[in-house]
Amino acid sequence: MRTSIKLYDSVKVIWDSYYEHPFIRGIADGSLNVEKFKFYMIQDYIYLLDYVKVYALGIVKAQDESIMRGFSKMVDNILNGEMNIHRNYMKRLGIRKENIENTEAAIENISYTNYMLSVSQMGDLMDLTASLLACMWSYLLIGKRLSKIEGAVEDKFYGQWIRGYSSEDYERETRWLIELFDQLTADISEKKFERLKEIFINTSKYESMFWDMAMTGGCNCAGI
């Protein structure tokens, strides 16, 4: 069995909960409060600026030229592809560049990206790839699930988000990451698998925290 499938089985309960999350259900039926989505888009934009740095570290960690090119292409895909979804919404929502620059990352956001960057800097290429996988793969599955709901793709506001994360381009990019991960982990030890599983479960839990943050507006830590 491919390592990616074994990891997916370890988080299926967590990932299935994403589909029932009120933020995701709100996108699916178009009922999500726009101000909540606005908060999410700004935080996710900030998140992606750190997420793409992990791909850049992949270029540094990789020894194979084709893998280096793959990570390089992914950096471009995120900065000039996925983030265009955000930029288009920002125009519609009246969010300006200075709004993003003047917004602090939520503590859940900081914790998630710091974890990925730490794993990637201290670990090997397998650890790095594992840290990236939950975000990209789960978004594809969410996008595909929502695209099958009648009327969701055609929604005048949230339809663009669904189309972006269920698109052929996004699926192709996700498949590249999954296939790379399986290639790198074809002959790993049980001890190494357990480490990758730990990373995958942790990042999957961080995804849950991110959806909670998007719905609630983040942790109220003023009293800490």
CB 127 within 8 A of CB 195: yes
Q: Is 135 one of the catalytic residues?
A: yes
pLDDT for position 220 = 52
Q: Which of 82, 108, 135, 173 is catalytic?
A: 135
Task: Characterize 9-48 residue by residue with b for buried, 16 or more Cβ atoms within 10 angstroms of its Cβ, and e for exposed.
Answer: ebbeebbeebeebebbebbbeeebeeebbbbbbbbbbbbb
Q: Which of 82, 108, 173, 207 is catalytic?
A: 207
pLDDT for position 223 = 43
- Fold adopted by 3-216: Heme Oxygenase; Chain A (1.20.910)
In this predicted model, what pLDDT tens digit does every residue of 1-14 receive, in sequence order?
899 999 999 999 99
Q: Within its chain, how far is the Cα of 138 from the centroid?
A: 7
pLDDT at 224 over 90: no
224 token code pair: 């800490």
Q: What letter does residue 221 receive in the DSSP assignment?
A: -
What are the domain boundaries of the chain? 3-216
Q: Is 108 one of the catalytic residues?
A: no
